[in-house]
Amino acid sequence: MQKLTRSDLYSLERYAEVRSEFRVRVMQHKRVRRVAIGEHAALYFEDRLTMQYQIQEVLRVERIFEAAGIEEELEAYNPLIPDGGNWKATFMIEYSDENERDEALKRLINVEDHVWMRVQGHDKIYAVADEDLERETAEKTSAVHFMRFELAPEMIAAVKGGAALAAGIDLPGFEQQLDPLPGETTRALLADLD
């Protein structure tokens, strides 16, 4: 999947004009790219459009319009765009109650090492997590982790051939699984594989 460049982005003025319409489009796009794994965890699969939206919002909020600042944002977010042989996702631990979330984060240390995807007929693919920086301490994990799932060529061929996908977590005491993923989600993830 092609990385974003400055020419792919709206100017701040133009973005102000199209933001409402663009946001609706992106939210619809993101809806099928969210995979809930149980009640309190979800994978949000990223792609070129979700990263364009993220960059546009950062540029808008921080009022960044100079070339150097825009390039910094591109360097920060382009690595979250799939490379054609992988899926990239933001993994979130989601509790609406802050105290409950804090307690869960203490119990879920190393959860990022137990998140997996599976292509039907193949072994689980465990996430490569937090390549940008360490996101947990000895006391607790983070509520947000960035993940990459690398697929072997035969897995890509199987997905393109219609194989079902599954996702899960196998951390003892927090085992969760979604098998199979909804068809619309599988189709969205198929588009990430060049």
pLDDT in tens, 33-45: 999 999 999 999 9
Indicate if the pLDDT at residue 94 is higher than 90: yes
pLDDT over 70 at 106, yes or no: yes
Mean pLDDT of 3-18: 97
State residue 133's pLDDT score: 67
* pLDDT tier, 136 (very low <50, low <70, confident <90, very high otherwise): confident
- In percent, how much of the chain has pLDDT > 90? 94
In whole angstroms, how far apart are CA 108 and each of 36, 46, 53, 136?
A: 17, 23, 30, 10
Please check whether the domain covering 34-46+82-194 is classified as CATH 3.30.420: no
- The yes-or-no verdict on residue 60 having pLDDT over 70 is yes
> Which of 84, 60, 66, 63 is closest to 3 using CA atoms?
84
Return residue ranges of the chain for CATH 2.60.40: 34-46+82-194
Residue 194 has pLDDT above 90, yes or no: no
The whole-chain average pLDDT of the chain stands at: 96
Average pLDDT over residues 148-165: 98
Provide the pLDDT for residue 51: 98
Q: Which of 6-10, 38-42, 136-140 has the lowest mean pLDDT?
A: 136-140
Residue 155 neighbours by CB under 8 Å, 6+ apart = 119, 122, 125
Q: Tokens for 47, please give them.
A: 């792609």
Query: What pTM did the predictor assign?
Result: 0.93
CB contact at 8 A, 186 and 164: yes
- Position 18 pLDDT exceeds 80: yes
Structure confidence at residue 131 (pLDDT): 81
- 171, pLDDT greater than 70: yes
What is the predicted pLDDT for the residue at 132?
73
